[in-house]
Chain A
């Protein structure tokens, strides 16, 4: 997708996130880097801090400690205008979060028009191209409420892509879907990875992690316990916590 493969895009150092004045310690010093073109899959038991980690990357959660450098800029610096950097970080949520009062097309063109100041024509052309790619061009005028879960999530993905982000963050994108719809969403994600998109994916889909992931991070108790290539991590887990986790999910 771009010529700067293997350059570090996101550098996370000693990331901490405590809720309720320190009562709940969701992240306890996470250090990780995400290179351009990588697909980093984050796995771990419920409550281990996966979502919090992901949401800290675009500052939907404000870290209580540590730093996040994105494209050379320290996002935790209070002087940074986070809106400018969020444009370059697409996010896909478990519950889609499409805007129910807008058509699919308007969902997709809102941010390009209001944030990137593109004109309607250009924004719509781009949106229609993307809709076509996920086979939903025919639903441009529909409202989110008229779509199935799988369709909604595919729209959510292309809505984020309309902003031409440098990285895509996925928080359990298939967990709220009926089983028969999981495949169509994973396929879109697989295609995206194939095009070289940098992706951070929190998921329980171990098949996807194994097949598409360039690296897998296993989190537990707010820290990264183990980190490796999918083949190594799944085939040769070293920590007991990962072993017992894998025994449960595989």
Chain B
């Protein structure tokens, strides 16, 4: 007898009130959560949305963070009397952005985006990616700024004393050294994003977590679906962690 048929039988038995053995129940639950009515497709779709939101958010967050970090660093490294009004205003805007974003809950930001700013839009993936991207940008900015500041000030002085200008020194000397700290931190940011995106269920986006909720609703409970997605998240995070660690080791070894 095929496994699916057996599970269908178990399902009927259970509905009739037969008490199943632990093993039988396990098989039945697994069947219900993942196989019946091709439910696995819901997880695949959910995982696709989760990954889309996380990756798009990281790209957007990186671009935003880069601009903010550039403004903040450039401003701080200029002599006071030379900064100029324009740069000062930009710097203040960047400071407000990081303060507000880092000082309010992600959930609140997401709800404001979905139900206030874009309340008529149905592009939930877009809204989620935008919210998370804007949120991530504030953290990425600090990662990049911290990475640049972690390079010894003597490096900038040595570059400038050789006649290289500010941008040349940044490009050839500071940034290559800062990247060693920045890239692994960005990898960790992606891991954080991947997990945090599970709150997009609040705006009705069918991500991986939502898939579990929907299945749980259809099958009247059961732990299988939730445990299943937990396992999928864990697997994704472990793969990413492995990649980040490899990258970190690579970068460390390049400094002999």
SS class, residues of chain B in contact with chain A: helix
Cβ of A60 within 8 Å of any chain B Cβ, yes or no, is yes
A97 near B155: Cβ-Cβ < 8 Å? yes
Q: Mark A86-128, 1 if CB is under 8 A from B, else 0.
A: 1101110101011111000000001100111000000000000
A110–B157 Cα distance when bound, in Å, is: 15
Chain B residues whose CB sits within 8 angstroms of the CB of A91 once the complex forms: 157-158, 161
A99 near B160: Cβ-Cβ < 8 Å? no
B255 near A101: Cβ-Cβ < 8 Å? yes
B158 near A114: Cβ-Cβ < 8 Å? no
Cβ of B173 within 8 Å of any chain A Cβ, yes or no, is yes
Give the contacts of A128-159 with B (CB-CB under 8 A).
Answer: 143, 145-146, 159
Q: Mark B137-158, 1 if CB is under 8 A from A, else 0.
A: 0000000000000001011011
Contact of A100 among B159, B161, B177 (CB under 8 A): B177
Contact of B172 among A95, A114, A159 (CB under 8 A): A114
Q: Mark B163-192, 1 if CB is under 8 A from A, else 0.
A: 111001000110011000000000000000
Query: A97-B157, A114-B168 are known contacts. Are A145 and B256 too (CB-CB below 8 A)?
Result: yes
Q: Mark A22-43, 1 if CB is under 8 A from B, else 0.
A: 0000000000000000000000
Contact of A87 among B158, B159, B163 (CB under 8 A): B163
A115 near B172: Cβ-Cβ < 8 Å? no
Return B172 CB to nearest CB of chain A, in Å: 6
Query: A60-B157, A114-B168, A114-B172 are known contacts. Are A145 and B162 too (CB-CB below 8 A)?
Result: no
Chain B residues whose CB sits within 8 angstroms of the CB of A115 once the complex forms: 162-164, 168
| Residue on A nearest B157 in the bound complex, by CB | A60
Chain B residues whose CB sits within 8 angstroms of the CB of A83 once the complex forms: 160, 163-165
Cβ of A84 within 8 Å of any chain B Cβ, yes or no, is yes
Known contacts A86-B161, A110-B172; 13 additional CB pairs below 8 A are A91-B157, A93-B157, A97-B158, A100-B255, A101-B176, A101-B177, A110-B162, A110-B173, A111-B162, A114-B168, A143-B255, A146-B256, A159-B162
Q: Which residues of A contact B (CB under 8 A)?
A: 58, 60, 62, 83-84, 86-87, 89-91, 93, 95, 97-101, 110-111, 114-116, 143, 145-146, 159-160, 163
Jot down 24 A-B pairs with beta carbons below 8 A, ordered by A. A60-B161, A83-B160, A83-B164, A83-B165, A84-B163, A86-B160, A86-B161, A86-B162, A91-B157, A91-B158, A91-B161, A93-B154, A99-B159, A99-B173, A100-B177, A101-B255, A111-B164, A114-B168, A115-B164, A143-B255, A145-B256, A159-B162, A160-B162, A163-B162
